[in-house]
Structure 1
Amino acid sequence: MPASTSALPRPHPLAAAARVVMLALVAVLTLFATRDVAQLWWIALLAVAGLPALLAPTHHRLGPLSRVAEVVVLGLAASQVASVATIGAQNGGLGASAVLPYLAVPVTVTALRRRFREGAALLAVAAVTLLVAGALTEVDGRRQLAQVGYLAVCAQWLILAALGLYAASTLHRVMQARGDGKPQPYAEATRLLTQLRTVARQLPGATLDPGGISEHLLEELRAVAPAGRAAVLSASGGGRLVVLAQSGVDRVDWETTLDADSAIADAWASQQPQTAARSQARSHAGKDVSALIVPLVAGVRTVGLVVLEADAAHAYPPDVVSRVTALTSPAALRLEAALLFDEVRSLATNEERQRLAREIHDGVAQELVMVGYGIDNALATVHDDAEETAESLRTLRQEVTRVITELRLSLFELRSEVDRHGGLAAAIAEYARTVGASGGLRVHLSLDESTARLPAATEAELLRIAQEAVTNARKHAGAANLWVTCEVDPPYAQIEVSDDGHGMGDQRTDGHYGLAIMAERAERIRGRLEIRPRQPSGTTVAVVVGSSPRRDTVRGSAAAEGE
């Protein structure tokens, strides 16, 4: 039966060599500890107990039973050899330390075979056997378990074996994550996203909001350090920073360029706190100024900066810097988590919008175009005496054309994004011009945008709010003019859309649904949405984020009100 013979498991040469070497080692140590050749019979019994596991390592019953037998014999041998080797009460662990190194053999075998639960079970069996054998063995009238040295040595070897098993388990998980040609990045991404979903459900909404975290950090810092002006900045791409939050009596035009010669750029590059005797604003007329810039470092990555300024010399001695860094260190991790959450949500949202745009374009839009062509063909074949039928077809054709136009505008809205180089004002202006032209509206634009940028998530939500307001004005207001005002001075921004239509009273249900969506978007970025009548006619929709440079109330659009 050659086939069955070749199928029998064979001992691995390295495994056999390791067992022989370890048995020889514990035999030598036992002789050294006891000076008694008779104690070597425990070593022989240990070899017999481990023989089945060596010859049939993959057998689902024989292998585990043999390893259990090994640790049981090992526990009994350790107790017996310890009792023989004991001289007085001070050397109770000498014999146990001679035999227990063999514990590494069965535990290592389970780790190599990735049977970590079996390894843990073997450690538990070994611990119980050592305790029971020590309690039953007497030395000079005392129980072996009462020997302090015996307990210490047993605990030491059990802990070392457990640590080795844990290290092997951790290494296995790391290697499994890296994979061998398998799609492990997707499995790792699934695991991380699942954890993120769990965290997002458990934490309050503001906890994953970069702006809310930044404002809370500034409040904490102003309690421990003088700061007439303060801000939290974060990277936005293109070598620039965005202002997540700021505080102070006066608004500050912070330096947001990372390649400038400034303490802000130095702190970002060095990941070390920087102090300066001049303001970090691009325009500041103060005389005596002290500035402290502390990088927010999560791991090895700089996720943001905290800038504190006081109108006094030497306002940030080392003890103040220490108090500030004690608060910024834990805040860096919270801010990084919030920024990553925002980025993942933004990527997922944009991808879904693009997918919907493709499906609408390739599906419903194309089918409606074909319906329109069919109506055109039907009109061409209608006889002159069927004027009523022809009129119905022409009406139907106009309605199909209107629906196609609406779909094209919806596609444009879905695909519209805030360009990194163009900015929020440019994106809103382009959308207003396109929609105004399709709806026969005269569009009046008032754009005031600084070179600094808002966070990408805030810009995206403001663009969607402006799009919804413009769409509502075109579809429901019956207006002739549309006024769009965009003022961006990070972290402040105000968007206003006004029309001269018939106002809110006659809007349809879907228009009110659009207003609810705008309110939800404004709340998501901690903005304030206001919808009010425009005089002498029409409606104004305004959204404000942050504190106004002049006042905190929503300002009316001067251009709109003056028309």
Structure 2
Amino acid sequence: MPAPSPAPLRPHPLATAARVVMLSLVAVLTLITTKDVSQLRWIALLAVAGIPAVLVARHGVFGPLGRFAEVVIVCLAASEVASMALIDGTVGGGLGASAVLPYLSVPLTVSALQRRSREGVALLTVAAITLLVAGLITQTADGRQITQFGYLVVCAQWLILAALGTLAAGTLRRAMQSRGDGKPQPYAEATRLLTQLRSVARQLPGATLDPGGISEHLVEELRTVVRADRAAVLSASGGGRLVVLAQAGVDRVDWETTLDSDSAIADAWASQQPQTAARSQARSHRGGDVSALVVPLVAGVRTVGLVILEADVANAYPQSVMAEVDELTGPAALRLEAALLFDEVRSLATNEERQRLAREIHDGVAQELVMVGYGIDNALATLPEEAKETGEELRTLRGEVTRVITELRLSLFELRSEVDRHGGLAAAIAEYARTVGASAGLRVHYTLDESTARLPAATEAELLRIAQEAITNARKHAGATNLWVTCAVDPPYAQIEVSDDGQGIADQRPDGRYGLAIMAERAERIRGRLEIRPRHPSGTTVAVVLGTSTRRDSVRDSVTAPEGE
């Protein structure tokens, strides 16, 4: 079966209408200018030349030939009409040429819309040469040449207008192309990039796209080539602050994390150039000889993080050492940017899905259960007094419906809970524990110890979900009366503990153990460790810990829930 002819070879109604309108306009102007009906022969020639340009506009040979023929005929007609107008004496030769030259815009615009930029330039060149040559060889009846200044000026004006029209048509074509097929260009580009990201994520192991793991590896590499008694990798977070992705050293360091301070950290971030200093970039440093080197991690034109190296000696980082550091930090910047972008995309997708589920539960199952509860209330109100047994069953059913609605409301609150960029992780956990404790009749005891520095947003989100699951397990399965919630955050270290005085983990139902498995997966995702241990004399303690340090161990010992309460 032969293939159908392609759509571009068929005449376009708008193109045909544009040529008819322009031919009519040029014919009227020619008659007004020359008052000679015989001059309409040029209009007839233009109509004939436009036939291939209309019927086979995109043909590789006949389309361009038709447009070149139109340009040549227009220019010759302009020269003769100018000559006739000059003989008649009613108007000047230049104004006579203006009667026909507007038609130049038709073939030039078609070339631009068809992305034939070279053809458009060639058409303009042919038009200029034809107008000039025709003017030189055309003479009046008494031998006077009409190549007067006015004629040349008018021809130049129309050529410039035609060129501008061609540029406008090309711009319009590009704008239409960006919106073609109902698929806006930004969305098409986003689809392409997300598809590539999905392919990369499937090919690489999970740790490869982990910002913390990449940062720790970079610190280890740097400490093998240069002296660094303290080292850290910092990245940006919300609110114009920095978060510590990884650090190494004998003791924990309270690094400067504000970008508006007078420090080498702020200077390196702003200038994208390495900075050296003779003082520590830590707020908790005791003093003494210090050499500090702050190297920005720049991917393309964007600063994605900082590497801080400090040695307790003077002049530890000369130019030769800085060159070695630069060789390692350059490739690491690109890896870290990819990991941070992947983390952000994953967090946005997860948050959007949680919000969608919350909306569906609220507008669907929750509303239907409320209506079921109202129906049971109505049945109880109209039940005869002698049907006591039925009434008791309905009241039991009403209580179960109320319990399920309460569970759904708590689930909705959990789905919608997020770590506020200003409030912090401890505030989000405390709010959730307070709400759950009030609904379940639990007595909640808080111990909150959170520094001004922040963890990465993705890490805070995972810690919040682990704390929520631990609190939910205690409420649902432990049968406890007291709940102890401990939140100690000192980036990059953190420890969240949830203890109860219930029946213990050995007697929990299978769905409670499933919740523990989910918590373990979340802890592994952020390179933390989950600890589940019995609490004496009764109950369970669930803890998630990020990092280790002497200070963190002392804080944990001081804030652990009392064992005998």
TM-score (norm 2): 0.70
Residue 521 of structure 2 is matched in structure 1 by 520
Secondary structure of 1:560's aligned partner: coil
Secondary structure of 2:305's aligned partner: strand
Distance across 2 between alignment mates of 1:559 and 1:503? 15
Secondary structure of 1:251's aligned partner: coil
Distance across 1 between alignment mates of 2:368 and 2:229? 62
Bigger mean CA offset, 212-221 vs 55-64: 55-64
Question: Please, which runs of 5 or more residues in structure 2 have no aligned partner?
Answer: 1-10, 20-51, 66-110, 117-170
Displacement of 1:550: 3.5
Matched, 1:483 2:477: no
Distance across 1 between alignment mates of 2:563 and 2:394? 44
Residue 448 of structure 2 is matched in structure 1 by 447
Displacement of 1:301: 0.8
- Quickly say closer, same or farther: Cα 1:328–1:535, change in 2 above 3 A: same
- Quickly say closer, same or farther: Cα 1:317–1:112, change in 2 above 3 A: farther
Counterpart AA for 1:484: V
Residue 382 of structure 2 is matched in structure 1 by 381
Distance across 2 between alignment mates of 1:186 and 1:229? 45
Aligned residues: CA RMSD: 3.2
- Quickly say closer, same or farther: Cα 1:62–1:504, change in 2 above 3 A: same
Secondary structure of 2:404's aligned partner: helix
Displacement of 1:445: 0.5
Distance across 1 between alignment mates of 2:513 and 2:196? 37
Distance across 1 between alignment mates of 2:499 and 2:269? 42
Residue pair 1:342, 1:457 contacting (<8 A) in 2 also: yes
Matched, 1:275 2:276: yes
Counterpart AA for 1:561: E
Question: Please, which runs of 5 or more residues in structure 1 have no aligned partner?
Answer: 11-52, 67-109, 116-170
Residue by residue over 1:478-534, the C-alpha shift from the partner in whole angstroms, topping out at 9 and shown as x without a partner, is 011101110000000000001011111111111011011101111111110011111
Displacement of 1:560: 3.1
Residue 210 of structure 1 is matched in structure 2 by 211
Matched, 1:532 2:528: no
Listed as ranges, the matches of 1:348-427 within 5 Å are 348-427=349-428
Displacement of 1:549: 3.8
Listed as ranges, the matches of 1:90-105 within 5 Å are none
Residue pair 2:16, 2:54 contacting (<8 A) in 1 also: no
Residue by residue over 1:231-271, the C-alpha shift from the partner in whole angstroms, topping out at 9 and shown as x without a partner, is 00001021110000000011100000100111100111111
Residue 258 of structure 2 is matched in structure 1 by 257
- Quickly say closer, same or farther: Cα 1:224–1:366, change in 2 above 3 A: same
Residue 220 of structure 2 is matched in structure 1 by 219
Distance across 1 between alignment mates of 2:479 and 2:54? 89
Q: Which has the larger radius of gyration?
A: 2
Residue 561 of structure 1 is matched in structure 2 by 563
Secondary structure of 2:507's aligned partner: coil
Distance across 2 between alignment mates of 1:375 and 1:286? 73
Bigger mean CA offset, 459-468 vs 532-541: 532-541
Distance across 2 between alignment mates of 1:553 and 1:531? 19
Residue 342 of structure 1 is matched in structure 2 by 343
Residue by residue over 1:60-111, the C-alpha shift from the partner in whole angstroms, topping out at 9 and shown as x without a partner, is 68679x9xxxxxxxxxxxxxxxxxxxxxxxxxxxxxxxxxxxxxxxxxxx99
TM-score (norm 1): 0.70
Residue by residue over 1:372-393, the C-alpha shift from the partner in whole angstroms, topping out at 9 and shown as x without a partner, is 0100000011111100000000
Residue pair 1:177, 1:188 contacting (<8 A) in 2 also: no
Residue pair 2:419, 2:425 contacting (<8 A) in 1 also: yes
Percent identity, please: 82
Distance across 2 between alignment mates of 1:495 and 1:288? 37
Distance across 2 between alignment mates of 1:352 and 1:3? 47
Secondary structure of 1:445's aligned partner: strand
Counterpart AA for 2:562: A
Secondary structure of 1:337's aligned partner: helix
Displacement of 1:558: 3.0
Distance across 1 between alignment mates of 2:448 and 2:340? 28
Secondary structure of 1:559's aligned partner: coil
- Quickly say closer, same or farther: Cα 1:218–1:177, change in 2 above 3 A: farther
- Quickly say closer, same or farther: Cα 1:512–1:377, change in 2 above 3 A: same
Residue pair 1:267, 1:295 contacting (<8 A) in 2 also: yes
Distance across 2 between alignment mates of 1:111 and 1:3? 16
- Quickly say closer, same or farther: Cα 1:328–1:473, change in 2 above 3 A: same
Residue pair 2:252, 2:549 contacting (<8 A) in 1 also: no
- Quickly say closer, same or farther: Cα 1:266–1:384, change in 2 above 3 A: same
Displacement of 1:280: 0.2
Distance across 2 between alignment mates of 1:494 and 1:403? 32
Distance across 2 between alignment mates of 1:386 and 1:176? 74
Distance across 1 between alignment mates of 2:174 and 2:432? 49
Residue by residue over 1:369-427, the C-alpha shift from the partner in whole angstroms, topping out at 9 and shown as x without a partner, is 11101000000111111000000000000000000000000000001000011100000
Displacement of 1:112: 9.4
Listed as ranges, the matches of 1:543-558 within 5 Å are 543-550=544-551, 558=560
Counterpart AA for 2:561: A
Matched, 1:243 2:247: no
Residue pair 2:227, 2:316 contacting (<8 A) in 1 also: yes
Secondary structure of 1:494's aligned partner: strand
Matched positions, count: 424
- Quickly say closer, same or farther: Cα 1:63–1:282, change in 2 above 3 A: farther
